[in-house]
Structure 1
Amino acid sequence: MLQHLTNILKSNGLSVTEPRKKILELFLGSNGALDHAAIEKGADNLDRVTIYRTLQAFVERGIIHTIPTVDNSVKYALCKECGQGHHHDNHVHFICEKCGTTTCIEDVSVPQISLPGNYHIREKEMILKGECESCYEI
């Protein structure tokens, strides 16, 4: 695992530090998106500034991407197809209104959108809300 963490950091042009390895390990061990509080809890003994700077570096390098939430905060998730600062996350994010989990739905793409005139799309996001498979009752 240690070599895998080191490879991800080095391949994205980041120096290998203990805080970066710790935070990256949290993402690799997570099944969904993480909010700042969960990252703080999992990265015990790291101060908020170090966590914030690490998250920013990971976003800038395409290791993680941000997901807006219903309360206008942000969650973070590992990028599967991104790298070198370019985000290509063209998938849907699902927010469970019962348990609050946010999940990347990798096999559902955000549809193509044609805009009139001189509009240029830089980024697309699609958020779906409802009940996840664990919370849904038939």
Structure 2
Amino acid sequence: TLYRTLKTFEEKGLVHQIDDGTNISKFALCEPGCNCEIDQDLHLHFHCGNCDKTVCLTEHKIPHINLPQGYVAEDANLVIKGICDSCSQH
């Protein structure tokens, strides 16, 4: 199925899943050298409330967060919500 294919691509590091709070599975192609691990290459995403588009902001990294002892991070996600550059020009 398409879902299994996307999951395989995700496991191989070709795409990463974006959780933008819309309850719709979205995937983006990984850039060369991307290693979407929690301590390696997590970046911001932007979700436009006008056109409903979500984009990767790969040049803006999520900073490492030191958790209290005993806590183990398995995933991190930071989505900025607002109006994208295309919509804000209209």
TM-score by length of 2: 0.83
Residues 57-68 of structure 1 aligned to structure 2 (within 5 Å): 57-68=8-19
Higher helix share: 1
How far residue 130 of structure 1 moved from its aligned partner, in angstroms, is 0.3
How far residue 60 of structure 1 moved from its aligned partner, in angstroms, is 1.1
The residue that corresponds to 1:77 in the other structure is 28
Q: Give the gaps of 5 or more residues in structure 1.
A: 1-48
Query: Is it true that 1:53 corresponds to 2:4 in the alignment?
Result: yes
Contact 1:67 1:76 in 2 (8 A): yes
Q: Which of residues 48, 51, 57 is equivalent to 1:96?
A: 48
TM-score by length of 1: 0.56
The alignment of Structure 1 onto Structure 2 pairs a total of residues equal to 86
CA distance in 1, matches of 2:29, 2:41: 10
Amino acid at match of 1:116: P
Higher relative contact order (CA 8 A, sep 6+): 2
SS in 1 for 2:88: coil
CA distance in 2, matches of 1:93, 1:107: 10
How far residue 136 of structure 1 moved from its aligned partner, in angstroms, is 1.4
Amino acid at match of 1:97: G
SS in 1 for 2:85: coil
CA distance in 1, matches of 2:41, 2:18: 11
